[in-house]
Structure 1
């Protein structure tokens, strides 16, 4: 594995504290590789061999390389991931003044592991919509430095904290921003207006609305005695977005039909105009492929690799896994299987991925959830049912998924990029 690969992921994570920033970072990377940004509201003039991408809602992105062959004969090599991660989002009227402190009301987004959010150095990032000179505009903002914290209650005041502790999402989570003195009430929108001026040099007339989330300012890092691990926020699933973009770049010279899909809102079901359960992918592909017959024939020859992190077997909690399906960090990507269609893998698509791993000399593992536990899901089944493409669900094994700081194997990133690059190079799909 290239030594620059983990550092590239660490840099990408640092540039991507929100889905909007993650998409903007991907867009910059693609443009540096010669991809042309298209606007969905414009007419497209596509050329064979061209490389293009579109974004929607500033938080979802689809990039593709036009192959020289007929797509209805060769199919599309597609990799899918998602740009969002569980977090705490600021409410519309968030100002809370309690006991002389300024706090912000937050809404829990997705299946957040809440306890690790306490006592962390937090900042804010997202998108702000405002009015300036009578026109409506939006900008991305990132406070970057620590501006908030959710302090724990001292154990002296909560003697049962280490035995059993429930977290009330309404009352226990408002982050603390500042001490308040005097009669003037803090205004969050004014704070955002000041930040827009600092970041973008714009003096806005009024902040109309925003989508802002808190995030941990501690940078991702390669850790462990032998540098075995990557620790950081939003590894689920920005690791897969980054790996997909790297693989697309690595396989560019092959000239095959290749697609990268990174959509928002997976953590809350994907039902949005820019989510996997929305029309974005089908609308883009129909514009690229042409008439209904060409679209259907192409989809029937295509393969989607849905790349989303898997649960590695935890050494402290091995009983939470099926005995025969405990993926280990740094032992390669994991094929995720669920016969109740929480994952879209079939014997055919799983077999294809195993073959790709064999050819790329990448180890491969399997995951099946315990039969007495509920199974999560991915964009795989959703995308497969939306456009009718054969799909395999895979991902790198991870600890502490949905925590504020997750853990993955440093070698697994290289394994994933290698097998995805090999997939993008395939001349013919089965």
Structure 2
């Protein structure tokens, strides 16, 4: 019996590669699936009958993935240990009629997805990525990972008050990126360009889910390179750590008392209410079918769920040196201080005292320090998939994550050690 590998700074190097390769939720789940396949997992189709054999399996649905590992001899009522995360990030997404422009500029019509820091998308070289749906119903990933688009800011000479009064952006008028010149804006130009880029025939694409992304790659930052700047850490950092922990546990040969699961959902940033969101039926359906495939009954499913624990892993707020008054005065999570435990007594986070004990035990086992986070009482608190998972499935859920700065920016900032500290704690948790 071998011990799962402990992650180090090399995990953070790999995270940076994962972020670069995952400009959309669809790319993120495809890259996660590829890593699972290399670890011996196999994809199962939702339309097929499932068997109860042991080993690693996963389901793909749009921008979501659920993966699990059934140990040898697992009973139908064996509980689950779940790491929950989400694949989507706030950004600008292409509208159904994308081709627009004015005054000799060719532009792409975009809609605001989630709650991005809008100013962070200004004057930044942007690519375009996502999913194309073809006439035969199949899909094709596309990624134009080069400077293609730009949302230009108004020059200060034409807005003298901007520095004193702050930047004011109209979401409809001021966020439409440019991508070329010309007075003749032709319907279908953008999709025709993407068809050519993807090697598809003209007119083959009949649907699309496209979004912009910064083409600047992740990078170490600081005098001692103790920080990492990059896109979509909220929340691909957790997806990456969860996949790494799941494959480590599955490959360890350890006798597991529970079934480790990774559930990475889409649409967390706009409420999770979709067939691929945490408030949809995906997770519950997968867990139930796993129980039934092993010969279980409704009673076995109820027993398994009653003993199941989920860690909802999402990024949180590190104390900001320039805005420390916005944080709770006695809770100041710091980067590279270890993952954070999120608490909110109004159930914006799902953590309670018994959940804290589960998390503390995992961190102690992994020899990983952890910090606590609560919001300033004078400010509204964000939320995660944690309360949704807990309420929808009756599963004990604990909210945790990595503390970052610039959350919801096109480019966020974390400590270089926190990603592998999180991964090590997730290994200990999944081991049960």
TM over 0.5: yes
* Alignment pair present for 1:126 and 2:124: no
What pairs up with 1:266-281 in 2 under 5 angstroms?
266-281=268-283
Structure 1 match to 2:221: 223
Shift of 1:370: 0.9
Q: What displacement does 1:387 show?
A: 1.2
- 1:74–1:288 distance in 2 versus 1, CA, 3 Å: closer
Q: How does 1:96-175 map to 2 (within 5 A)?
A: 96-131=100-135, 135-163=136-164, 164-175=166-177
Q: Is the 8 A contact 1:128 1:192 kept in 2?
A: no
The Cα offsets for residues 409-428 of structure 1, whole Å up to 9 and x where unpaired, read as 111111101110111122xx
Q: Output the TM-score relative to the length of structure 2.
A: 0.94
Question: Equivalent residue of 1:162, what SS?
Answer: helix
SS in 1 for 2:138: strand
1:191 — aligned with what?
A: 190
Name 1:321's counterpart in structure 2: 327
Whole-angstrom distance in 1 between the partners of 2:123 and 2:75: 52
Shift of 1:270: 0.3
Task: Give the equivalent residue in structure 2 for 1:260.
Answer: 262
**Over the residues paired in the alignment, what is the CA RMSD in angstroms?**
1.4
SS of the equivalent of 2:145 reads coil
Q: Return the match for 2:305 from 291, 299, 304.
A: 299
List aligned pairs for 1:326-341, cutoff 5 A.
326-341=332-347
Task: Give distance in 1, aligned partners of 2:260 and 2:9.
Answer: 26
CA distance in 2: counterparts of 1:72 and 1:224, whole angstroms: 50
Q: Offset of 1:68 from its aligned partner?
A: 2.9
- Which range moves more in the overlay, 293-302 or 392-401? 293-302
Whole-angstrom CA distance in 2 between matches of 1:255 and 1:284: 22
Count of matched residue pairs:
417
> 2:4 maps to what in 1?
none
Counting only pairs closer than 5 Å after superposition, residues 366-381 of structure 1 correspond to structure 2 as 366-381=372-387
How many angstroms does 1:288 deviate by? Answer: 0.3
Equivalent residues of 1:330, 1:411 under 8 A apart:
yes
> CA separation in 2, counterparts of 1:80 and 1:392?
10
Residues 43-92 of structure 1: CA deviation (Å, up to 9, x unaligned): 112302x11000112x1000000023545665211100000000000111
Secondary structure of 2:84's counterpart equals strand
Whole-Å Cα distance in 2 between the matches of residues 69 and 10 of structure 1? Answer: 37
What is the match of residue 235 of structure 2?
237
Q: Is the 1:193–1:206 contact (alpha carbons within 8 Å) kept by the matching residues of 2? A: no
Find 1:66's aligned residue among 52, 63, 70: 70
2:95 to 87, 91, 108: 91
Deviation at 1:202, TM superposition (A): 2.9
1:176 CA displacement: 0.6
How much does 1:190 deviate? 4.1
Tell me how far 1:224 sits from its aligned partner: 1.1
Q: 2:368 aligns with which of 353, 358, 362?
A: 362
1:22-37 to 2 correspondences below 5 Å: 22-37=28-43
Q: Normalising by structure 1, what TM-score?
A: 0.94
2:181 is equivalent to residue 176 of structure 1: no
Q: Which runs of 5+ in 2 are unaligned?
A: 1-6
Quick one: which of 33, 54, 58 aligns to 1:53?
A: 58
Residue 367 to residue 212, structure 1, CA distance change in 2 (3 Å): same
Q: Are the counterparts in 2 of residues 66 and 255 from structure 1 also a CA contact under 8 Å?
A: no
- What runs of 5+ residues in structure 1 fail to find an aligned partner? none
* Closer, same or farther: CA 365–382 of 1 in aligned 2, 3 Å: same
Paired with 2:75 and 2:177, the residues of 1 have a C-alpha distance of: 51
Answer yes or no: is the 8 Å Cα contact 1:334–1:366 preserved in 2. yes
State the 1:265 CA deviation: 0.2
Alpha-carbon distance in structure 2 between the residues aligned to 1:175 and 1:339: 41
